[in-house]
Structure 1
Amino acid sequence: MSATAQKTRFRIEGMDCAGCAAKIDKVARRTPGVNDVMVSATAGTMVVDHDAAADLDDMAKRVASLGYGIVGDARRGSIGAAKASSTIPPAPGHDHGDDAGQDHGSKRKYDSGPAAAAKAAPEMADLHGHDHGTDDGLWWESTKARLTIACGAALGAAFVLVQFYPASDPWIFIAAMAVGLIPIARRAVMAAVNGMPFTIETLMTVAAIGAVFIDASEEAAAVVFLFLVGELLEGVAAGRARASIKALASLVPKTALLERDGKTMEVPAESLAIGSTILVRPGDRIPADGLIHSGQTSIDESPVTGESVPKPKGPDDQVFAGTINQDAAIRVKVTAEAQDNTISRIIRLVEEAQETKAPTERFIDRFSKYYTPGVMVVAALIALVPPMAFGGDWNEWVYKGLAVLLIGCPCALVISTPAAIAASLSAGARRGMLMKGGAVLEQLGKITVAAFDKTGTLTEGKPKVTDIIGAERSEADTLKLAADLETGSSHPLATAILAEAKARGIQLGSATDSRAIGGEGVVGKSGEIDLFLGSPQAAEKRTSIPRDLMARIVALNDEGKTVSVLVADGRLAGLIAMRDEPREDAKRGIQALADLGVSAVMLTGDNKRTAAAIAAALGLEPKAELLPQDKQRIVGELRAAGQTVAKIGDGINDAPALAAADVGIAMGGGTDVALETADAAVLHGRVMDVAGMVALSRATMSNIWQNITIALGLKAVFLVTTVIGVTGLWPAILADTGATVLVTANAMRLLGRKGLKPAEG
């Protein structure tokens, strides 16, 4: 980060709706030296791109004057010109607690300096009121909930008192209305002072006061109460989206059993350093990413991968923080610090993605800037033109104008897109499908061609033994002698032979005088038996290979398999064939894409024979013997032909092609996934998840259009019914807050997508 260009990330307490985000965005941009601002109501964050000389103290004071708590995330980046002397506290009503365990890293209140804090604090008291619920506590414990309850109680009391003291009407209703309206009016004033005169608080204040002047104080009091109820419900629903991804943090235990100097001690999990050895007992959650040092067990990875079947794990196998050890105690060598473990990285990526806007969201934001003033003009015309031009009743038409003013709030429209995108990003991340923002999520649903790398993407990335053919020795003897010869070797083919022998429970010996012969194979002795394991061509120099076995070798080669021939004491012992096998779900994943109307092609640098064999098994078109620039060229040609292309690869060797595609998807495992290169990542290496991303994108776009229809449709209906006199102020406020709650609740349905089945797209 340079001295002149910095990015500072904040958490904003009490920001629960699109209107909040818009106000904070505008206030932050008014600060000299601030170049760009990204505010996410769904993530509850603000990222400020600013010069080194920018006065962030002044910006914090302005944000606080609107009634929000502003918290700098010290782990995420610069906190600007902060001093250690004081902080800006959140306004009453923002009692979110300390968010313990929720922010996934260190944080502190942003310091605005002593003078700023002293000046800002009085302005904030009981101002914003958008605390719809605490992050850690119950929603009804918040100050906003208490204000809503107080306003409701005052309204109820007013209805009772007016029955016994009719003369108290309308003053008793005005007093009840004031309980809720005064905080709303103060927010409207502070927003106007900061350059935002046309906020929902302004609309609400004008409508309520106007209703009093036309002798509709009873309705005005009810409207204020309904407004507070709507905001409360809106915040509770929005909080679910924010909590859905943050809940992942609670999967990681707070403590770990560290082994040091032969002793085991309990330490905070966040203190674990790379290289530490920890003990994980049966039933415990694993506190850090790492490799199993000793022990055999089964690991329930469903909290991270979504897979319900536990996986057997042994020495050198990778385990993830938050997963559950089931069978036996294991010792794990830590490979990532707390802030870099799999779950922390998922949380960080999703939060950052939620801070970026999709094209649809940016369009809605631009539209709403013209929509709100337009509605105010329409409301003014409805209130003024009929009485002035046609002799209409002033009270009647002013009443209708005030109702239209309430209908016109753009909250539901503005939240329609980000709520759906935030829910989808969270739902995908919980299953290891990570997308870098709404633009990527939106684009995924448009792809028509998926271009896959082969090795490590469609295949496991490591060879496996597929065939063992005995000649003068049995299959078991052939495998045992070959494994004896390869013991201690790290060559991929040797590793495959040793893994197969281990899987079959073969007790291995150790060959002597082992050595490699360049271009041919390996020689050595197992007991008194002289052994050679190598290519068929090299084996033919040492013994004869019958014609039928040679034909079998050719057939295996045609299937893309590498064949090693074992010679024992100068005689043909047997054959071992190996191949980098397709991932277990590769064929189903390709078929799922086809069901979605997405064709698939394989781009690989491997030889044509192997590529053709793998492609035929999976049902896709192969293009083989390609260099990285060839893959980039082919992607470019597909795009030039009008296709929307997703490139799926390891994110490193395929970097040019990933960059050339409309969407680059990194296929990786755990902490090694190449998130920096690609637009999205399949964290757990499942080919089916590529189809899952496409299905999720299409479901999200469908949800967004449903939300827009709900938001505009309800307003259109109530606009017409208000003008013709069927509905009034009460339905008008319900059209606003009710639409916002409906839109948010509809978006939250995306959180419940189980399995993200492609067919649902």
Structure 2
Amino acid sequence: MNREIDESTHADTLKAYAIEGMDCSSCARTLENHLKQHPSVDEVSVQFASAKMRIRHRNSSAEIMEEVKKVGYKATELNRTRGKRENQPSQARHTDLQLWASSFLIVIGFALSIWTASNLPPLMFALAILLSGWKPAVSAYYALKSRNLDMNVLMTAAVVGAMFIGEWLEGAMVVWLFALGNRLQTGSMRKTRGSIESLLEITPDEAWVKQGDTVKAMPIENVWIGDTIVVKPGERIPLDGEILEGDTTVNQAPITGESMPVDKRQGDPVFAGSVNEHSSMIVKVTRLAEDTTLARIIHMVEEAQEKKAPMEAFVDRFARIYTPIVFILALVVMGGPPLLLGGAWSEWFYRGLELLVIACPCALVISTPVAIVSAIGSAAKQGVLIKGGAALEKAAVVDTAAFDKTGTLTKGQPEVTQVMPLNCTADELLQIASALEAHSTHPIAQAILHEAANRQVIPLNVKTGQTSAGRGVQAHMNGQDYYAGNVKWLEEIGISLQPYEDQIADLRQQGQTIVGVASKVKLLGLIGVSDTVRDTAAHTLQALQASGVSRLVMLTGDHADAARRVADQLQVTSYAAELLPEDKVEAIRQQQAEGRQVAMIGDGINDAPALATADLGIAMGGAGTDTAMETADVVLMADHLEKLPYTIQLSRKALRIIKQNIWFSLLVKFAALLLIFPGWLTLWMAVLSDTGAALLVILNSMRLLRTSGSEMDGSKVTVTS
């Protein structure tokens, strides 16, 4: 059955469009205001940073695209299931041709002005203005119509003013520099926005679907949950699923950021977009195309890129006040001195035009969103999902990290850490214990079986067995009864433990779970089982402290001895044990009451209340956990603790770059304003300062795209100021 839906079915639903041609956030506001006035549009939001428009409309997509075209931009509807652009028109070639033609006309006009006094030079300059200035003029018209004083309005007014006073060369240079700056900005922004776009291209468009004895290629949109697909070696997995047949290795770096391929076998999950490296496998589909883990990552990253950070919202508010104030000041400069002080009209009119250009807050407004888009996109490629600018800002100021223990600082799986034979050899102890635990699925039993297998110990043959839930197991082997379980149960059945109280106390002191193994008459030995610390945990915590997270706290529901053992191993600042979920919340609130910025790191399920209470919630292993992806501010898609220092470092670097951008933008504006009144600034220099500053701000932000996890991993973190 074909799942393609006719466009009429989607009327009055929220659609996404890619927008080309926007030069700054004021352009996005102009387009948004224009569409809000359309009777068929119920809701619209245009984001400059991601170049996306989300709109709820009751007319056709073609009509919406035509409305966007009127304002001077191009809209392309995004594919509903994967966010891919069905068609990606580009204005770059057209703009380049206009720029070259304008350059040629300006050069010819300038040369003619030297050799002749005819009317040809102004004509050349006028044609150059028309070529480069038509698009800004159209956009300016719609900006005024929607009551938005954007950069196109200011620049168009400056050019018209220059022509009015006979400064044709100045006007041509202004509009040419403006067009060139926008072209360079657009190219740079396309690279910035492409930080996540590349993920859109890695999912195959088709899947090999197994139907009986045949295999048929089908569009992934037509594959249903429960269908069986075949993935050959070297192919990308088209949909999320579970392996039915085949042992292989899978490179799932696009999902989790893992650098090494992961072994996969029957029953293991696989993710769309990852690469099957070795053997063919048969996979049962578990998610539709629009609901794969990769599709949800992309959707969340796009949403995150569109969420305004507190600093960005402040800059926007500042720009909305600053622009009209400088615009009014420009009008006062044009008319005030000539009327009140007898100044020359042409001189003060020219200075007023310079102020109009300086009023464009493009570099300032662009300073924050470009850095946020770059940082979030860069993190996504490393398997770290940062949910918006607010989360990025919070991560940059964290000074306290609170960790759940089990599954976060530790592996989350019990392991045999001590084999203590008392009245037999170590191999004999494991032979008996593994035989007793052979048919149990309990994690402690599995740990004992794993240890026996590692030591190549073969279990004894069990004749009959019986399990006592929560206490232990007994069985008949080699003509006698054997028991394995907790020491309290062994005492209850008459095994004397008094001679071994020191050994038992020592294991308890180490925070280990004790399994006693005994025959009918005596204790044969003790096995210590515990959840072991992750190999990377110590390096990660050291790297966090080197990054400026001064306080490390461990919060666990486990018993005090186990908590103390892990806390001593990792040298955390403090720890609290035997906590219920609400106790963890209270512990975080205590840290916050002391004025600390707290990040909580947990698995996203039983730690959900603590993740929500902390200033920043960081969930581990989001690729397999829906709850983690939904509840936390930051999600580490793989179960890799060592991504934490990278996340904190990236956030702090992003915040530094944002501050650099803001101060640089303000200083350039202030310097230009000071140069106007002595008459040292020309109109084209004012344009160059504005577009040049915007371009430098974008390039500075793009440094975040080159920030990789290898630069900031858990073992070697370079702290920069």
Q: TM-score, length-normalised on structure 1?
A: 0.83
Q: Distance in 1 between matches of 2:227 and 2:482?
A: 42
Q: What code does the residue aligned with 2:595 have?
A: G
Q: 1:701 aligns with which of 644, 647, 655?
A: 655
Partner residue in 2 for 1:19:
26
Q: 1:454 aligns with which of 405, 424, 431?
A: 405
Q: 2:569 aligns with which of 590, 605, 617?
A: 617
Q: What code does the residue aligned with 1:440 have?
A: A
1:189 is the counterpart of 2:189: no
3-state SS, counterpart of residue 538 of structure 1 = helix
Shift of residue 660, structure 1, vs aligned partner: 2.2
Q: Distance in 2 between matches of 1:152 and 1:480?
A: 87
1:40 is the counterpart of 2:18: no
Structure 2 unaligned runs (5+)?
Answer: 1-11
Partner residue in 2 for 1:521:
472
Residues 586, 686 of structure 1: 8 Å contact kept? no
Shift of residue 97, structure 1, vs aligned partner: 6.5
Q: 1:322 aligns with which of 260, 273, 278?
A: 273
1:104 is the counterpart of 2:82: yes
Structure 1 residues 505 and 320, CA, compared in 2 at 3 Å: closer, same or farther? farther
Partner residue in 2 for 1:234:
185
> 1:280-291 counterparts in 2 under 5 A?
280-291=231-242
Structure 1 residues 98 and 638, CA, compared in 2 at 3 Å: closer, same or farther? closer
Q: Distance in 2 between matches of 1:604 and 1:526?
A: 40
Shift of residue 556, structure 1, vs aligned partner: 2.7
Partner residue in 2 for 1:124:
none
Residues 593, 599 of structure 1: 8 Å contact kept? no
Q: Distance in 1 between matches of 2:18 and 2:247?
A: 45
**Aligned-pair identity (%):** 37
Partner residue in 2 for 1:440:
391
Residues 479, 501 of structure 1: 8 Å contact kept? yes
Superimposed CA distance per residue, residues 636-685 of structure 1 (whole angstroms, 9 cap, x where no aligned partner): 22222222222222333223322322222222341314232222222223
Partner residue in 2 for 1:746:
700
> 1:43-54 counterparts in 2 under 5 A?
43-47=50-54
Shift of residue 166, structure 1, vs aligned partner: 4.2
Residues 65, 76 of structure 2: 8 Å contact kept? no
Once structures 1 and 2 are overlaid, which stretch shifts more, 246-255 or 362-371?
246-255
Residues 487, 511 of structure 1: 8 Å contact kept? no
Q: 2:218 aligns with which of 267, 287, 302?
A: 267
Q: Distance in 1 between matches of 2:227 and 2:481?
A: 44
Structure 1 residues 266 and 469, CA, compared in 2 at 3 Å: closer, same or farther? farther
Partner residue in 2 for 1:486:
437
Residues 485, 526 of structure 1: 8 Å contact kept? no
Q: 2:194 aligns with which of 230, 243, 263?
A: 243
Superimposed CA distance per residue, residues 55-91 of structure 1 (whole angstroms, 9 cap, x where no aligned partner): xxxxxxxxxxxxxxxxx5xxxxxx4534699653452
Residues 647, 663 of structure 1: 8 Å contact kept? yes
Q: Distance in 1 between matches of 2:198 and 2:456?
A: 42
> 1:84-483 counterparts in 2 under 5 A?
88-89=65-66, 91=69, 104-105=82-83, 136=88, 140-141=92-93, 143-159=94-110, 166-167=117-118, 168-196=120-148, 198-470=149-421, 474-476=425-427, 478-479=429-430, 481-483=432-434
3-state SS, counterpart of residue 207 of structure 1 = helix
1:81 is the counterpart of 2:72: no
Residues 651, 667 of structure 1: 8 Å contact kept? yes
Shift of residue 410, structure 1, vs aligned partner: 0.8
3-state SS, counterpart of residue 69 of structure 2 = coil
Partner residue in 2 for 1:643:
596
Structure 1 residues 460 and 336, CA, compared in 2 at 3 Å: closer, same or farther? farther
Q: Distance in 1 between matches of 2:324 and 2:507?
A: 73
Q: Distance in 1 between matches of 2:458 and 2:104?
A: 79
3-state SS, counterpart of residue 24 of structure 1 = helix
Residues 39, 355 of structure 1: 8 Å contact kept? no
Structure 1 residues 744 and 458, CA, compared in 2 at 3 Å: closer, same or farther? same
Q: Provide the aligned length of Structure 1 versus Structure 2.
A: 697
3-state SS, counterpart of residue 619 of structure 2 = strand
Structure 1 residues 574 and 304, CA, compared in 2 at 3 Å: closer, same or farther? same
Once structures 1 and 2 are overlaid, which stretch shifts more, 408-417 or 580-589?
580-589
Shift of residue 733, structure 1, vs aligned partner: 0.9
3-state SS, counterpart of residue 578 of structure 1 = strand
1:495 is the counterpart of 2:446: yes
Q: Distance in 1 between matches of 2:432 and 2:445?
A: 12
Partner residue in 1 for 2:14:
8
Structure 1 residues 16 and 402, CA, compared in 2 at 3 Å: closer, same or farther? closer
Once structures 1 and 2 are overlaid, which stretch shifts more, 617-626 or 374-383?
374-383
Residues 253, 383 of structure 2: 8 Å contact kept? no
Once structures 1 and 2 are overlaid, which stretch shifts more, 382-391 or 181-190?
382-391
Shift of residue 355, structure 1, vs aligned partner: 1.9
Q: Distance in 2 between matches of 1:257 and 1:517?
A: 49
3-state SS, counterpart of residue 147 of structure 2 = coil
Q: What code does the residue aligned with 2:605 have?
A: I
Shift of residue 626, structure 1, vs aligned partner: 1.3
Residues 17, 234 of structure 1: 8 Å contact kept? no
Once structures 1 and 2 are overlaid, which stretch shifts more, 84-93 or 245-254?
84-93
Partner residue in 2 for 1:711:
665
1:760 is the counterpart of 2:719: yes
Structure 1 residues 29 and 96, CA, compared in 2 at 3 Å: closer, same or farther? closer
Residues 543, 567 of structure 1: 8 Å contact kept? no
Partner residue in 2 for 1:659:
612
Q: Distance in 1 between matches of 2:227 and 2:420?
A: 45
RMSD after superposition: 3.3
3-state SS, counterpart of residue 14 of structure 2 = strand
Structure 1 residues 503 and 278, CA, compared in 2 at 3 Å: closer, same or farther? farther
Q: Distance in 2 between matches of 1:11 and 1:404?
A: 35
Q: What code does the residue aligned with 2:561 have?
A: R
Structure 1 residues 31 and 264, CA, compared in 2 at 3 Å: closer, same or farther? closer
Shift of residue 752, structure 1, vs aligned partner: 0.9
Q: Distance in 2 between matches of 1:273 and 1:572?
A: 57
Q: What code does the residue aligned with 1:723 have?
A: F
Partner residue in 2 for 1:112:
none
Q: Distance in 2 between matches of 1:398 and 1:449?
A: 57
Bigger relative contact order, structure 1 or 2 (CA pairs below 8 A, ≥6 apart): 2
Q: Distance in 2 between matches of 1:513 and 1:459?
A: 36
Q: Distance in 1 between matches of 2:287 and 2:136?
A: 48
Q: What code does the residue aligned with 2:332 have?
A: L
Q: Distance in 2 between matches of 1:85 and 1:736?
A: 35
Superimposed CA distance per residue, residues 269-292 of structure 1 (whole angstroms, 9 cap, x where no aligned partner): 444433444333333333333344
Structure 1 unaligned runs (5+)?
Answer: 1-5, 48-71, 73-78, 109-134
Structure 1 residues 32 and 451, CA, compared in 2 at 3 Å: closer, same or farther? farther
Once structures 1 and 2 are overlaid, which stretch shifts more, 266-275 or 85-94?
85-94
3-state SS, counterpart of residue 217 of structure 2 = strand
